[in-house]
């Protein structure tokens, strides 16, 4: 009996999220600084002789067929490389669902990486990322991980120096947001406050945590905070309790704060849990990849 392959699928947050314009094809052109955090789902892959793909998950409302990105990632690799063996995948979710943390995308990324390992295919990361972008713009980043500038519709990635040492408080409210709804209701005009993505990038090259946190911003908050005041309330609770800054991740509804110590983050977590609309909290470190700290010029 072959040993199953166990993988961690890490979540992401957006340290900065700017939307440049709506393109003619309906997609939005973005500039974002992405950061992987050590909140993760567990993905287990096993070979078998069934000749089919089977999925199971700890959340009964998640699809376990071709509507699931993990199923589709496995199917792409099986088809591309003529794999006849069956694959059984188990998804144990800890990342909040529909929360702006790329939970589905990172599970699919783990499936791509896992299939490469399980069948010893020796596929390069670049090639895996090309397969991944056909399923979703966030999935290539979730394969790469770390700190990165994301442009285009999210598929153009530039690795950046890791965020300086810090702690993240992740808070998931009891409500979720539709990414489609948020983008459809986004108004970009002369009143839009755009985050300083270039300044944040420079701060990362300087290893300047405060330079990063003071530039945090997400243009999508203008939509979500109109419908869900709890987003702003949770940010304020975090800042009152020691966060250098706080922000909504992606299109929401997750809110995160950045802290200089675990103790401060845990105190803020306790304060946030007293909010009636908080469902889940986690205090985690960033997942960082070491890159040489060279000039960005």
Q: What angle do CA 175, 94, 243 make, to 5 degrees?
A: 65
Catalytic residue among 18, 138, 172, 264: 138
Annotation says 85 is catalytic: no
Cα–chain-centroid distance for residue 245? 19
Helix (H) or strand (E) holding 112: helix 103-118
Per-residue CA distances from 42 to 6, 67, 77, 111, 216 (Å): 7, 19, 20, 11, 29
Annotation says 47 is catalytic: no
Give the position of tokens 């304020």: 236
Measuring CA to CA, which residue among 97, 5, 12 is closest to residue 42?
5
Catalytic residue among 12, 172, 235, 264: 12
Would you please indicate which residues are annotated as catalytic (active-site) residues? 12, 138
């Amino acid at each position: 009996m072959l040993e199953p392959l166990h993988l961690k699928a890490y979540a992401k947050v957006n340290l900065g999220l700017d939307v440049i314009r709506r393109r003619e094809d309906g997609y939005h052109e973005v500039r974002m600084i992405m950061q992987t955090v050590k909140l993760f789902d567990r993905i287990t892959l096993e070979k078998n002789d069934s000749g089919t793909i089977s999925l199971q998950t700890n959340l009964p409302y998640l699809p376990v067929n071709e509507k699931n990105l993990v199923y589709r990632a496995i199917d792409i690799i099986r088809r591309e490389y003529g794999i006849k063996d069956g694959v059984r995948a188990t998804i144990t979710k800890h990342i909040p669902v529909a929360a702006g943390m790329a939970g589905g995308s990172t599970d699919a990324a783990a499936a791509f990486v896992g299939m490469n390992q399980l069948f010893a295919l020796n596929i390069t990361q670049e090639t895996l990322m090309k397969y991944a972008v056909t399923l979703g713009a966030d999935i290539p980043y979730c394969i790469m991980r770390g700190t990165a500038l994301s442009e285009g519709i999210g598929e153009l990635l530039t690795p950046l120096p890791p965020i300086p040492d810090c702690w993240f408080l992740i808070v998931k409210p009891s409500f979720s947001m539709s990414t489609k709804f948020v983008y459809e209701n986004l108004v970009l005009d002369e009143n839009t406050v755009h985050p300083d993505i270039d300044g944040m990038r420079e701060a990362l090259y300087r290893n300047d945590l405060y330079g990063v946190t003071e530039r945090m911003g997400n243009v999508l908050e203008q939509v979500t905070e109109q419908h869900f005041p709890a987003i702003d309330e949770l940010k304020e609770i975090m800042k009152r309790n020691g966060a250098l800054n706080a922000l909504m991740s992606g299109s929401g509804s997750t809110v995160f704060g950045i802290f200089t110590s675990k103790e401060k983050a845990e105190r803020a977590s306790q304060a946030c849990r007293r909010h009636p609309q908080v469902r889940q909290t986690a205090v985690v470190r960033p997942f960082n990849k070491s890159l040489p700290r060279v000039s960005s010029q």
